[in-house]
Amino acid sequence: MIYFDNNATTQIAPEVFEAMKPFLTEFYGNASSAYTFSHNSKNALEDSRAQTAELLGADSSEIFFTSCGTESDNWAILSALEMQNDKDHIVTTRVEHEAIRKLCEKLEKHFKKISWLDVDKNGNIDLQELKSVLKKETAIVSIMLANNETGVLFPVKEIGEIIKEHSDALFHVDGVQAVGKIPINLKATEIDLFSVSGHKFHAPKGIGALYIKRNVQLPAFFTGGGQEKNRRAGTEAIAQIAGFGAAGELAKNFDGHEKIKKLRDKLENTILEKIPHTKLNGDKENRLPNTSNISFLGCEGEAILAHLDRHGVCVSTGSACNSETHEASPGLKAMNVPYSEAMGAVRFSLGKYNTETEVDLVLEILPPIIEKLREISGFSK
Ligand code: PLP
């Protein structure tokens, strides 16, 4: 198996699994219980919070554990509206993950006003447009750091400064795809809320976090027991949380980003050179080091995926198309990628366990697949 779908999810690192094990077996105490046995759980919870804070350049008191990135995103937006109930305006972009996009579409049906920022053909936003839509009714601006489909990075530091200069809106950043792939330092920014998801950086599924800047009184999203300082009720999933902290520490100390980028570049450059009628989607420079989104004209992304799957190669059309409706992904549509190109898009997302041998193998397997699919579709240019 060759796993080139690390933006979808990642393998649990062996070190992470080791960190989780004691809390799946002997230390099953509830972190809220008073007896000594539960101190192991309580300590693991606070150790993980400190590791997560270190990873994000934040303070431990600003880290709140959730179940996933989607929960963190929903919490940020819905509680920001709750705490500013005199405001009804949200600013976001057309290329956000469904966790934000579909929530905002739903809120729009419930009489909230949404400004959807456009992107250019490379997937970048226009900061002048952002400035022009901010108003006193703006409760929150939600803009991702790294795009899940193309890896394109938004300049969230600059965006934060613009927001604070022109409004008193909260600034939420969906950092799910960025954490573990590029360095993060929230202290040096105007970001109020930042979503993280463990399974994108070698922690298990079912654990995420929301960073809430110290001075932001964001109301609870889950109400019940008093966990997470009354901000997120629900008995803490200590094993997942311990894994999250360990993965955070690994990510903080990881020095192989350049190696991943080299592999990604070899894969991408060879495909673009050797296979005719291929095109990169998204800004070539301003993006994550692991992601490559390539359109193969005359082919369906879904068919490429299925053929690669037969060779044990995992890639994604990702959110790149909905197989039931055959619609191009909203992200590629927003970039004005023509329908035929969007339908032939494949996302390759590499990770730390990939090797050059795997890249070379895919470069051998892929060209005959494309040739065959083009023959079937009668594609000629
Ligand atoms: N935000 C982005 C940018 C993502 O890529 C994803 C998942 O792919 C999510 C949010 C949702 O995260 P989770 O799967 O942890 O709910």
138-191 pLDDT, tens per residue? Answer: 999 999 999 999 999 999 999 999 999 999 999 999 999 999 999 999 998 999
191-204 pLDDT, tens per residue? Answer: 999 999 999 999 99
200-257 pLDDT, tens per residue? Answer: 999 999 999 999 999 999 999 999 999 999 999 999 999 999 999 999 999 999 999 9
For this structure, is 321 an active site residue? yes
**Rounded Cα–Cα distance for residues 300 and 87 (Å):** 44
Mean pLDDT of 66-84: 98
Residue 63 has what pLDDT? 98
Residue 324 has what pLDDT? 61
Which residues lie with the beta carbon below 6 Å from any ligand 1 atom? 68-70, 73, 97, 99, 144, 148, 174, 176-177, 197, 208
pTM: 0.97
Confidence of residue 26 (pLDDT cuts 50, 70, 90): very high
**Rounded Cα–Cα distance for residues 208 and 202 (Å):** 12
DSSP string, 130-190: HHHH--TTEEEEE--SB-TTT-BBP-HHHHHHHHHHH---EEEEE-TTTBTTB---GGGS-
Report the chain's mean pLDDT, rounded to a whole number.
Answer: 96
Helix (H, G, I), strand (E, B) or coil at 349: strand
User: Any alpha helices (H) in the chain, and if so which ranges?
Assistant: 14-24, 39-56, 69-83, 98-109, 127-133, 156-166, 227-230, 238-253, 257-274, 301-310, 330-334, 339-343, 356-377
Site to probe by mutation for ligand 1, drawn from 7, 65, 67, 200 as the one with most ligand atoms within 8 Å of Cβ, is: 200
The one catalytic residue in 68, 104, 299, 321 is 321
Residue 320 has what pLDDT? 44
305-342 pLDDT, tens per residue? Answer: 999 999 999 999 954 444 566 788 999 999 999 999 99
